Amino acid sequence: MSVHASAPESIIVDHVTKEFRLQYHRTLKQMAVAKTRGQKISDKFLAVNDVSFSVKQGESIGLMGLNGSGKSTLLRMVNGSMVPDGGSVRTRGRISGLIATGAGFHSQLTGRENIYLNAAILGMSEKETNAKFDEIVDFADVGRFLDTPVGVYSSGMYSRLGFSVAVHVDCDVFIADEVLAVGDKPFKKKCMAKMEEVRQSGVTLFYVSHAAGSVKKMCDRVLVLEKGRLVFDGDVQEGIDFLEYDGDEENDDEVLGADI
């Protein structure tokens, strides 16, 4: 019997579909010319196509698939920042995480101000943020740039600050989209160690990565998307084999090390 079998459902995705429109021409003149020539001026495509699954509280789910398979679109519907065109998404409790590096940051505000802004977006009260402020700053390690506008930050500093705020939110579901994609090796290692803490605390982890090594280390189960469809849901190694994609596994193991 699975350790999560008796746990309540944390995420329920029921026949979810999300459609986008592709615009082939930018100006009215180009559109008019295309119409007179009988050419298409736009097209529709299903970024997420009739996807259904459920996640128990405390499960660690790896979401994998090639670029353009619909992973980030699906995550945005799970975290509520995007609404499905069909079907429904239901979640239990507070959701935190990092889908886009620096999402919610204002480039003209300082790192300090953006910590409070980003924390508020993620549902933290000012009192909660005050209590965790020193931990957030220490983890982000942006040093003397804390009171500098984030518009001058490097991508690595953006990533550190964004992840630090997200991972210090008391949440029921934590979403991490390619958390190892930005930042140097010591910070990646630090992120994975922190995510392992989150995982061990009983929070539901939804982890998106191309890196097979970290998915195997962090996840109990794998979902694979292909052109918007859910084509696999099950064992981690079987999911990686199904995808026929090993990612940067060797480098992953080096990052993960013995800290986790």
Asked if 174 contacts 116 with a C-beta cutoff of 8 angstroms, the reply is no
The pLDDT of residue 103 is: 61
Below-50 pLDDT ranges, the chain: 1, 246-260
Residue-range definition of the domain harbouring residue 184: 56-83+92-256
The pLDDT of residue 195 is: 86
**Assigned token pair, 192:** 């994975």
* C-alpha–C-alpha distance, residues 93 and 156, integer Å: 30
The pLDDT of residue 114 is: 93
Asked if 259 contacts 191 with a C-beta cutoff of 8 angstroms, the reply is no
Question: Is residue 235 one of the residues assigned to a domain?
Answer: yes
The pLDDT of residue 181 is: 55
Name residue 139's amino acid. F
Helices (H), 42-99: 71-78
Question: Is residue 19 one of the residues assigned to a domain?
Answer: no
Question: Is residue 7 one of the residues assigned to a domain?
Answer: no
Helices (H), 24-100: 28-36, 71-78
Q: Angle of helix 155-167 relative to helix 185-200, nearest 10 degrees?
A: 10
Question: Is residue 20 one of the residues assigned to a domain?
Answer: no
The pLDDT of residue 251 is: 47
Task: Give φ, ψ of 13 to 5 degrees.
Answer: -110, 115
* C-alpha–C-alpha distance, residues 117 and 126, integer Å: 10
The pLDDT of residue 222 is: 96
The pLDDT of residue 255 is: 42
**Assigned token pair, 191:** 């992120």
Asked if 163 contacts 191 with a C-beta cutoff of 8 angstroms, the reply is yes
Question: Is residue 179 one of the residues assigned to a domain?
Answer: yes
Tally of structural domains, the chain:
1
**Assigned token pair, 233:** 């849901």
**What torsion, rounded to 10 degrees, do the Cα atoms 76, 78, 81, 87 define?**
100
Question: Is residue 233 one of the residues assigned to a domain?
Answer: yes
Question: Is residue 158 one of the residues assigned to a domain?
Answer: yes
CATH code (residue 71): 3.40.50.300
CA within 13 Å, CB half, 72: 11
